[in-house]
């Protein structure tokens, strides 16, 4: 009886696999016929493209292989996952515009893997919930409030400058570690209203847990059976995820609790509620994101603890990890390009004065630094903080004039777009002039999307750019950046964000 049961089970599973593969292969062939401009990555039955990753499944190797696919096969690709499930990897601006603008679209599988961490925060939420949260959160990034946050940016970056003194004139060091803690202090104080003093406590379990969780999420995307939760729960990675989530949620819970205690004073709570008035939100007094979440009502109901935590988790992660990436890569590229550094410094002296390292930077000052703006854009071209974004068709949608069936995963490979020699000649060359007005006007607007695009673009992009500019002005005002030894040249990996494998190394000497 037992043997018969096993045989029956094997027969059922085999039949299901055969039918699933056959169905997926029909979809692949239909896509190949419809989208003749797209090249197909070589695949085998059942395992799809997975054998191409068998040599090394580490995040750096996976990212290198993905870049290699586009170099070998072309810019826009048809890929196949387990059971030959089809997916598209697109980089052409016209196709990207069509995908991002499509109404029958939702976020792809990787965002489901994020939900144990951020639940349904702004990054992962869909439909009405996303629209309501976006409407609530957007006013907290109005430029009037950003001006108020600059006091925090100035103060925390001055702490960073002080911490960097211990590396002055001492050779190569990894600036990424210092930037991470500074960015964490900034997002916590500005968006949450809570001082962490992470720069004074460099051994941050939260930062380590972020990296651990991000890597687990990314690895799951390239694992066999990635869609099957029961298989993941049986893996060692599930236990690592559980431990990381405990640290991450404990941390954000403590931030929320600290702010709640601060708001328990009735006078302070009264002041906060007054700020909820529409005219005050855009007025002189700032209101942190967490204050808003603790006090806002949606359809007559306050947000519950889960609602609040999922947004705090989202913004604590996204608000420090992406800016850390951009600032660190900026420091690296500026150190590697002394002529760019000279122009940056001269612009800062011209706009801000000879002793700009000691002044309080303002919103209007930073807007005048045009060459700095172009430099940051060039950094985000070569090393976009978020190198890949995922979407999935939920109904027939049109790409390149052809209907794409529901359920097809679509990866928008921003890194490959930004390093496409047909759009950006000599893409490995660091050249801020690519982003002067004349050159920008010649390119398709969707050929450069470091903050995504469309309705679901990054709500905090102005906040991030102000933080990046403030940090770089403070660093360059106090130190000259020098290139690292060639053995420490930057190498890349990605999980949720683009990161240097071993660090972003520079040398610094005082000005």
Distance (Å) of CA 62 to CA 57, 230, 412, 494: 6, 24, 16, 8
Mean pLDDT for all residues in the chain: 88
Domain boundaries, the chain: 2-510
Report the chain's C-alpha Rg in angstroms.
24
Mean pLDDT comparison of 62-76, 161-175, 353-367, highest-scoring range:
161-175
Residue in the structure block whose two tokens are 């980089």: 91
| More confidently predicted of 434 and 299 | 434
**Cβ atoms within 10 Å, residue 484:** 22
Confidence tier at 182 by pLDDT (50, 70, 90): very high
Q: How would you class 333 by CB atoms within 10 Å of its CB: exposed for 0-12, middle for 13-18, buried for 19 or more? A: buried
> Which pLDDT score is estimated for 468?
98
* Pairwise CA distance, residues 408 & 80, whole Å: 10
Please report the DSSP string for 268-279 in residue order. HHHHHHHHTSHH
* Pairwise CA distance, residues 321 & 500, whole Å: 12
Confidence tier at 305 by pLDDT (50, 70, 90): confident
pLDDT at residue 133 is higher than 90: no
What is the per-residue pLDDT across 425-465, written as a single tens digit (0 to 9) for each?
Answer: 999 999 999 999 999 999 999 999 999 988 888 989 999 99
| More confidently predicted of 341 and 47 | 341
What is the per-residue pLDDT across 202-222, written as a single tens digit (0 to 9) for each?
Answer: 777 888 888 888 888 888 877
Confidence tier at 283 by pLDDT (50, 70, 90): very low
pLDDT above 70 covers a percentage of the chain that reads 93
Distance (Å) of CA 430 to CA 211, 272, 321: 28, 46, 23
Residues 6+ apart with CB under 8 A from 18: none
> Which pLDDT score is estimated for 279?
46
Mean pLDDT comparison of 8-12, 45-49, 107-111, highest-scoring range:
45-49
> Among 1-5, 145-149, 178-182, 340-344, where is mean pLDDT lowest?
1-5
Strands 498-500, 492-494: pairing is antiparallel
Q: Which of 108, 171, 210 is nearest to 456 (CA)?
A: 108
* Pairwise CA distance, residues 120 & 310, whole Å: 6
Does the pTM of the predicted model rise above 0.75? yes
> Which pLDDT score is estimated for 434?
97
> Which pLDDT score is estimated for 493?
87
Residue in the structure block whose two tokens are 């890349």: 492
Question: Computed from CA positions of residues 146, 111, 248, 414, in that sequence, does the dihedral angle turn out positive or negative?
Answer: negative
CATH, domain range 2-510: 1.10.630.10
Residues 6+ apart with CB under 8 A from 71: none
What is the per-residue pLDDT across 480-507, written as a single tens digit (0 to 9) for each?
Answer: 999 999 999 999 988 888 999 989 999 9
Q: Which helix (H) or strand (E) holds 243?
A: helix 236-262
pLDDT above 90 covers a percentage of the chain that reads 47
> Which pLDDT score is estimated for 93?
94
> Which pLDDT score is estimated for 170?
95
Locate 56 and state its tokens. 């090394």
Locate 8 and state its tokens. 């029956």
Please give the angle made by the CA atoms of 363, 369 and 372, to the nearest 5 degrees. 115
Strands 173-174, 505-510: pairing is antiparallel
Distance (Å) of CA 30 to CA 8, 75, 86, 94: 33, 20, 10, 21
Please give the angle made by the CA atoms of 117, 493 and 157, to the nearest 5 degrees. 75
Query: How distant is the alpha carbon of residue 495 from its chain centre?
Result: 9
Confidence tier at 275 by pLDDT (50, 70, 90): low
Residue 62 pairs in a beta bridge with: none
Residue in the structure block whose two tokens are 């799951």: 220
- State the Cα torsion 321-326-328-333 to the nearest 10°: 160
Residues 461-471, mean pLDDT to the nearest whole number: 96
* Pairwise CA distance, residues 418 & 421, whole Å: 9
Confidence tier at 143 by pLDDT (50, 70, 90): confident
* Pairwise CA distance, residues 228 & 31, whole Å: 25
Residues 249-272, mean pLDDT to the nearest whole number: 76
Q: Which of 379, 381, 375, 383 is nearest to 346 (CA)?
A: 375
Q: Which of 142, 101, 17 is nearest to 449 (CA)?
A: 101
* Pairwise CA distance, residues 231 & 77, whole Å: 28
* Pairwise CA distance, residues 121 & 125, whole Å: 6
Confidence tier at 280 by pLDDT (50, 70, 90): very low
Locate 262 and state its tokens. 């601060």
pLDDT at residue 404 is higher than 90: no
Residues 168-191, mean pLDDT to the nearest whole number: 93
Please report the DSSP string for 439-466 in residue order. HHHTS-GGG--BTB-GGGS-TTHHHHHH
* Pairwise CA distance, residues 383 & 282, whole Å: 34
């Amino acid at each position: 009886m037992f043997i018969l049961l096993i045989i029956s089970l094997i027969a059922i599973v085999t039949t299901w696999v055969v039918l699933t593969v056959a169905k997926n292969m029909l979809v692949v062939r239909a896509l190949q016929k419809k989208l003749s401009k797209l090249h197909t990555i070589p695949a085998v039955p059942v395992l799809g493209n997975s054998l191409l990753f068998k040599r090394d499944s580490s995040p750096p190797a996976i990212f290198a292989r993905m870049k290699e696919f586009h170099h070998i096969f072309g810019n826009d690709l048809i890929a196949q996952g387990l059971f030959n499930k089809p997916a598209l990897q697109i980089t052409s601006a016209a196709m990207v515009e069509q995908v991002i603008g499509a109404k029958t679209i939702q976020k792809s599988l990787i965002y489901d893997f994020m939900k144990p961490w951020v639940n349904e925060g702004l990054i992962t939420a869909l439909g009405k919930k996303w629209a309501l949260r976006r409407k609530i959160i957007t006013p907290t990034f109005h430029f009037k409030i950003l001006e108020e946050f600059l006091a925090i940016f100035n103060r925390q970056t001055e702490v960073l400058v002080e911490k960097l003194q211990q590396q002055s004139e001492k050779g190569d060091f990894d600036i990424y570690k210092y930037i991470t803690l500074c960015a964490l202090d900034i997002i916590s104080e500005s968006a949450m209203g809570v001082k962490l003093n992470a720069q004074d406590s460099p051994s941050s379990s939260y930062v380590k847990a972020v990296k651990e969780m991000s890597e687990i999420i990314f690895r799951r995307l390239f694992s066999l059976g990635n869609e099957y939760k029961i298989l993941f729960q049986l893996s060692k990675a599930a236990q690592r995820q559980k431990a990381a989530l405990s640290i991450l949620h404990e941390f954000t819970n403590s931030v929320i609790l600290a702010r709640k205690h601060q708001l328990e004073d009735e006078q302070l709570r009264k002041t906060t509620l007054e700020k909820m008035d529409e005219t005050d939100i855009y007025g002189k007094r700032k209101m942190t994101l967490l204050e808003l979440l603790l006090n806002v009502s949606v359809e007559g109901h306050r947000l519950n603890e889960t609602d609040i935590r999922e947004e705090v988790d989202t913004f604590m992660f996204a608000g420090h990890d992406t800016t850390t990436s951009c600032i660190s890569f900026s420091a690296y590229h500026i150190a590697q390009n002394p002529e760019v550094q000279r122009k940056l410094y001269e612009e800062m002296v011209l706009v801000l004065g000879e002793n700009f390292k000691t002044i309080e930077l303002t919103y209007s000052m930073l807007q005048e630094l045009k060459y700095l703006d172009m430099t940051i854009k060039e950094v985000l071209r070569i090393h976009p903080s978020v190198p890949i974004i995922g979407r999935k068709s939920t109904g027939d949608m049109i790409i390149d004039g052809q209907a794409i069936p529901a359920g097809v995963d679509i990866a928008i490979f921003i890194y490959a777009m930004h390093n496409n020699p047909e759009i950006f000649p000599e893409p490995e060359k660091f050249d801020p002039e690519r982003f002067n007005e004349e050159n920008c006007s010649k390119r398709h607007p969707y050929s450069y999307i470091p903050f995504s695009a469309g309705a679901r673009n990054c709500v905090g992009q102005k906040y991030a750019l102000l933080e990046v500019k403030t940090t770089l002005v403070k660093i360059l005002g106090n130190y000259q950046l020098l290139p690292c030894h060639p053995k420490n040249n930057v190498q890349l990996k990605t999980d949720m964000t683009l990161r240097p494998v071993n660090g972003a190394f520079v040398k610094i000497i005082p000005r």
